[in-house]
């Protein structure tokens, strides 16, 4: 955790997600739970979809390119 903090923490991960989405998704797959045990009295709210959107670097500041 110290090394993560030293390289920028969440800010570093956001930069990685934009510059190298494949590596970011690999890391994300390693930290997500692999098994979920549910309790009907305490429902689980989880991420069920992650979308990666490619953005044209030449359009920075002008919004998303579809």
Average pLDDT per block of 10 residues along the chain, 66 residues long = 88 92 90 74 74 74 54
Q: Please, what's the b/e burial string for 29-43 (b: 16 or more CB within 10 A of its CB; e: otherwise)?
A: eeeeeeeeeeeeeee
Residue 20 pLDDT: 93
What are the residue boundaries of the structural domains of the chain, listed by start?
A: 1-33+47-66
Residue 50 pLDDT: 78
Task: List all residues 6 or more positions away from 61 whose beta carbon is below 8 Å from its beta carbon.
Answer: none
Residue 11 pLDDT: 92
Residue 61 pLDDT: 60
Residue 57 pLDDT: 72
Q: Look up the pTM and report it.
A: 0.47
Task: List all residues 6 or more positions away from 27 whose beta carbon is below 8 Å from its beta carbon.
Answer: 13, 16
């Amino acid at each position: 955790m110290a090394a993560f903090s030293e390289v920028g923490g969440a800010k570093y991960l956001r930069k990685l997600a934009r510059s190298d989405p494949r590596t970011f998704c690999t890391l994300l797959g390693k930290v997500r739970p692999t098994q979920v045990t549910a309790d009907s009295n305490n429902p689980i709210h989880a991420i069920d979809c992650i979308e990666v959107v490619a953005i044209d670097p030449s359009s920075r500041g002008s919004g998303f390119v579809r």
